Amino acid sequence: MQNFFRATLLGICLLSAFQELYAQKFTISGYIKDKNTGEVLIGANIYNKENYQGTTSNNYGFYSLTLPADSMKLMFSYVGYQSVEVTLNLDKDTEINIGLEDVVALDEIVISGREEIQEVTQMSKINVPIAQIKAMPALLGEVDVLKVLQLLPGIQSGTEGSSGLYVRGGGPDQNLILLDGVPIYNASHLFGFFSVFNADAINNVDLIKGGFPARYGGRLSSVIDITMKEGNHEKLRGEGAIGLISSKLTLEGPINERTTFLFSGRRTYIDLLARPLIKAATEGDEVAGYYFYDLNAKINHKFSNRDRVYLSGYFGNDDAYSRYKENYDTGVEKVFYEDEFGLDWGNIIAAMRWNHVFNPKFFSNLTLTYSRYRFDIFENYKEERTTPNGVDNEDESISYFSGIRDFAAKMDFEFIPNPNHYIRFGINGINHTFNPGILSYKSTLESDTTLGSFKTSANEFAAYLEDDIKVTDHLKVNAGIHISAFDVEDELYTSFQPRLAVRYLLSNGLSIKGSYAQMTQFIHLLTNGGIGLPTDLWLPSTRKVAPQESHQFAFGLAKTIKKQYEISVEAYYKEMDGLIEYKEGASFLNIDEDWQEKVETGRGESYGAELFVQKKTGKFTGWVGYTLSWSNRQFDNLNFGRSFPYKYDRRHDISITGVYKVNDRIDISGAWVYGTGNSITLPISKYNGFRYEGNFWFRGGNPITYHGERNGYRMRSYHRLDFSISFSKQKKWGTRKWTIGTYNTYSTRNPFFIDIGYHKNGGKKFIQYSLFPIIPSISYSFKF
């Protein structure tokens, strides 16, 4: 039965490409851009007003629409932009490049004819406009893409204030986070409280949490596809902000008629603000602090109407440091002492992409990428003693290093023979180098020592084919296959992953959708519980540790009401195999053991239902999201083999957001969230162990703590209200804006963790600790 399903699926994809090739038709193609900036518009809609046959622009703004020869009226539209109508007599292949102009009065937007949610085959996909992301309230005024995505149904936020994403019961390693097509392995700053994405440099954000098209692979739970801006084609423009903890600046513009650039930078200055306080509080010469920075850069060049080249890069790093120096003279000897401690981690990515249009129906994109993530802890100690007998030196250094590095190449093709088919296919290869963690110790008094796991190289390959098929006016199908392989340590893993999504449109405008996706993930993240410390280790599948696999089914309903409100209801079920966790008592600090000996392998399942109501246009925009879900794990050697709730299993999750444009000068935004408390494991009792002494066992050894059911206790529910108000003013040089906001406006003492404390009478009790009370913020931003 399985072979029959695979053969049928492949047959649909191949045979559909040859339908209607001999009809007398011509192709309209081109690029859709912002008229004022030249920035491409991703997902813009193009359709014939006579019969509503149409298509959408791809990630590079390119579109292709093949129609019968005839006179017609074409409509070009995009949310937040004024639609453009073009009348033409189609008697040959025609290139039409369109610039759409954004509207000032959002309540006047016309979106009739736009491809609405009930018409799209893809389910479990959400696009949040960048303008909406930037308008949302933010912790300490720092606009954060991932924190906004946490407000969507099906996504858990992890711990208080963190930017981690847990999608439909999956772990953080199961999210494929792409920046201009390059994977980001650690998307967090400040121990998880902020993400690495600067919203000023971003053009588009798509989130897919199920029903994955065949072109995506390598992760189990979600795809977050983030596209950087290309740079203003018309003139030099800039924008920036000055906040409580960081400042940022973005510049973009044309280099010449064919070339544009974008540069964006952000840096915190917590270390500079704290330096005088630290110096005043210490006797010696001590410097300590923490900061992070991000740099985004991009250059685009148009060689011809058929060829475009894009070069982009991201550089980001977190650095926590402490340096202490001291000199003193005892009269007998002079001593110089120096100690330096550091903790830093960061990403570097680079991409080169070449778009080529073979003909109006056939588009290609070649991508070469580099991605590197590293984590490093080090301490250097130096002591110099000068006595009448001479000078004695003692040097000691210890460091712990881990990371992952990728070189990759990918070739993607898009073939659009007619409005009833949108065919995509391609291949890609990745060379991974994993460094699971090495401890290095050097000393002038002892021999040098190196402990830990050795580097591992692996090669990953994939190929895919998918077709978005319009079978009838009511029925659309997206069918595809994703084939992948992973070569590591003379072991070859292969995977055949079918994908299928179906949409049936009822006469009342309501659509019924269903999807199935099988996913395989060849890399693992071995993570410690906590607040998002970067000590997580990226690891390959090996002979001992198999790949992760998932099967996800989803069913849903979708409808657009009054051309403004998108409503969707989805139910899903997901099975996961090959999950790993540390054994009881193990952690990344057990460097004398290979990581493969420190993990348990198990399975998981998650299921639930989601409601999403979104309004993208008008003076008031926002959404309401609700999630009802269950997420469980099962490991043979954990919790006595019994199933237990995942740490971020939440029964109920609610988010309500809104942005109201009072007038051209004032914007008000708010977000309220509620979630069932996280599951944790608590100690139940403690008893004395036994010690072996003189050939006898005696009670009174090291105390042993007995824990109850794994994740058997649930913390108190979480809820929070964020609020902000912005005041804009037009100046001769551009626009300035002041934003005042509060995080946790009514100052709820939300649980962060629970520990053992004591009553006044000396008895023990559990104490809940909270992290953030109400936090006010103010920031100044500008555009010119």
The full set of domains in the chain, from first to last, is: 23-114 (2.60.40.1120), 125-678+715-783 (2.40.170.20)
E-state strands within 527-619: 537-540, 548-561, 565-582, 599-615
- pLDDT of 16 above 60: no
| Cα dihedral 452/527/295/781 (nearest 10) | -150
Q: What is the pLDDT of residues 428-446, one digit of tens each?
A: 999 999 988 777 778 776 6
% of residues, the chain, pLDDT over 70: 87
Question: 596 is written with which tokens?
Answer: 């493969």
Q: What are 144-176's pLDDT values in tens digits? A: 888 899 999 999 887 776 667 899 999 888 999
Burial of 778 (0-12, 13-18, 19+ CB in 10 A): middle
The H-assigned helical ranges of 227-319 are: 270-281
CA 742 to chain centre: 25
pLDDT tens digits for range 420-430: 999 999 999 99
Q: Are strands 222-228 and 237-242 parallel, antiparallel or unpaired?
A: unpaired
Model confidence at 105: pLDDT above 50? no
CA atoms within 13 A on the CB side of 167: 23
Supply the pLDDT for residue 450: 63
What integer pLDDT is reported at residue 445 of this predicted model?
Answer: 66
- Could you tell me the pTM of the whole model? 0.86
Which whole number is the average pLDDT over 199-209? 91
Instruction: Classify 303 in phi/psi space as left (phi over 0), alpha (psi -120 to 50) or beta.
Output: alpha
CA 213 to chain centre: 18
| Three-state helix/strand/coil letters over 572-587 | EEEEEEEEEEECCCCC
d(CA 526, CA 536): 6
Residue 135 has pLDDT above 80, yes or no: yes
Statement: residue 381 has pLDDT above 50: yes
In 5-79 the beta strands, taken as DSSP E runs, fall at 25-34, 45-48, 54-56, 62-68, 70-77
Q: Which of 622, 616, 611, 615 is nearest to 722 (CA)?
A: 622
pLDDT category, 110, cuts 50, 70, 90?
A: very low
Angstrom distance (rounded) from CA 288 to CA 193: 20
Q: Which pLDDT value is given to residue 252? A: 94
pLDDT-derived band of residue 697, with 50, 70 and 90 as boundaries?
A: low
Strands laid side by side in the 125-127 sheet: 125-127, 202-208, 222-228, 175-179, 182-183
Q: What is the mean pLDDT of residues 638-659?
A: 91
pLDDT score, position 476 = 93
Return all residues near 455 (Cβ < 8 A) that are at least 6 apart.
433, 434, 435
**Partners of 577 in beta bridges:** 549, 603
